Amino acid sequence: MNASLPEPSALAQSASRALKVRIAERIGKRRGWIPFSEYMQLALYEPGLGYYTGGAAKLGVAGDFVTAPEISALFGQALAHQVEEVLAATRSEILEVGAGSGQLALQILGELARRDALPEHYRILEVSPELRERQAQLFKAAPPDWARRVSWLDELPESLSGVIIANEVLDAMPAEIVVRSAGHWLVRGVVLDPEGQLGYQDRSASAELAAALRARVPGPGQLGDGYTTELNETAQGFVATLAKKLEHGAMILIDYGFPAAEYYHPERRQGTFMAHYRHRAHDDPFFWPGLQDLTTHVDFSALAAAARAAQADVLGYTSQSHFLLNCGILELLEGSAEDPSKWLPQTNALQRLLSEAEMGELYKVLAVGRGLSQPLLGFARGDRGSAL
Ligand SMILES: C[S@@+](CC[C@H](N)C(=O)[O-])C[C@H]1O[C@@H](n2cnc3c(N)ncnc32)[C@H](O)[C@@H]1O
């Protein structure tokens, strides 16, 4: 597999080697073994060297993956209609977590400006210094009336009201990989072999992890030996923290994933872990650590449970295609038809966002929050909250 992937530049290789030394030190300190979640944390977020905290190009043609706002501005414009509804009810602000290139923020602000519904503040919480700089550059060239509303947070506020948005952020949070063996769970860890190569080693799951799996995995008895899956307690904790802080408003989480019954389906035997490098998805987390994205799909049932445990309401859950259609993406397309040269590319982009074979069905939208009447615009038709 690795042989078929393109070689990184010499500079990138040397950053990756430095990260590997850091990972090896950590494994040494932990007596030869770290859980996969700790490896994922280091590979993505180690200061200065991780995939998100180092210099990798990440999003876009020169990077490793493309997200919905990079495919079409119609995505952010449609989402803006949902945002507008919540802003009208809360008279408050927007917080975007993990804003990538900044395109989504630009699309949302542009559409809100067109509808005379701009909020005073659009705050961004961004862990990547490189992406934060890209976002700042993008807004330097934006209309000043939008740009002056944008600011960056270094940490979460004590409390907030309004709309929280996270598109494709939770899939990058460090997950635990677990494996079924003789009626028990093993936890996958990372070790160094005598030649200094990184590899997997499974151990018995701790009592805490086994209990967390009991709470989240329906019907583990049906999962045979070797069944491999993941549990993402970091993502659950993140949603719980934000749900507690949200006094009035909604948190809109968009990502690829399923409810628990599908996530832990007996036929999904290999789990959902995937690495993304130069627009190719593969399953080797040890290929040039720090130079590729590492992801797992999202268990939306777990996120809904985390929000409910924080006394927040589940406001809606549906596929990306239903959500965007409910938010009026087709009307936006019709409205953009004045320029015939844009018609074909716009239609192709829409097809990628909505088609069941592409992002329309695999990607879901979950809204949780407090103090809002339901249904929200994006979930008016096709709500699947009962599947969570
Ligand atoms: C896959 S990109 C998605 C970017 C953007 N939302 C979009 O749709 O194009 C993930 C984004 O989340 C950020 N990120 C990852 N983990 C984060 C965390 N724990 N807190 C804040 N941002 C995070 C990354 O730096 C990046 O901006």
pLDDT digits (tens, 9 = 90+) for 143-159: 999 999 999 999 999 99
Neighbours of 178 (CB within 10 A): 25
Per the listing, tokens 């072999």 go with: 193
Give Cα separations from 292 to 67, 110, 209, 331 (angstroms): 15, 32, 27, 37
Q: Which of 37, 51, 52, 242 should be mutated for ligand 1, with most atoms under 8 A from CB?
A: 52
For residue 225, pLDDT beyond 90: yes
Q: Which of 132, 167, 168, 169 should be mutated for ligand 1, with most atoms under 8 A from CB?
A: 169
| Host H or E run for residue 239 | helix 233-245
150-199 tens-digit pLDDT: 999 999 999 999 999 999 999 999 999 999 999 999 999 999 999 999 99
Task: CATH number for 68-169+234-262+297-387: choose from 3.30.870.10, 3.40.50.12710, 3.30.70.100, 3.90.1820.10.
Answer: 3.40.50.12710
For residue 65, pLDDT beyond 90: no
Instruction: Tell me if residue 318 falls in helix, strand or coil.
Output: strand
Q: Is the dihedral of CA 78, 80, 81, 86 positive or negative?
A: positive
Cis upstream peptide for 375 (omega within 30°): yes
Q: Whose CA is nearest to atom 4 of ligand 1?
A: 100
Question: What integer pLDDT is reported at residue 228 of this predicted model?
Answer: 98
Question: What integer pLDDT is reported at residue 3 of this predicted model?
Answer: 59
Cα(207) to centroid(ligand 1), Å: 32
**Greatest CA separation for the chain:** 65
- Least confident range from 2-6, 199-203, 289-293: namely 2-6
Question: What integer pLDDT is reported at residue 159 of this predicted model?
Answer: 96
Ligand 1, closest atom to CA 128?
A: 25
Dihedral of CA atoms 41, 47, 48, 52 in degrees, nearest 10, equals: 40
Cα(40) to centroid(ligand 1), Å: 15
Cα(101) to centroid(ligand 1), Å: 9
The amino acid occupying position 309 is A
For residue 263, pLDDT beyond 60: yes
Per the listing, tokens 């210099």 go with: 55
Q: Once rounded to an integer, what is the mean pLDDT over residues 77-91?
A: 97
Q: Which of 75, 106, 127 should be mutated for ligand 1, with most atoms under 8 A from CB?
A: 127
Strand partners, 27: none
User: Long-range contacts: 329-332, Cβ < 8 Å, 24+?
Assistant: 329/74, 329/75, 329/77, 329/78, 329/353, 329/354, 332/74, 332/77, 332/78
Per the listing, tokens 């803006």 go with: 80
| pLDDT class of 2 with cuts at 50, 70, 90 | low
Please state the pTM of the whole predicted model: 0.96
Question: Residue 202 and residue 189: Cα distance in Å, rounded?
Answer: 6
Instruction: Tell me if residue 295 falls in helix, strand or coil.
Output: strand
Question: What integer pLDDT is reported at residue 349 of this predicted model?
Answer: 95
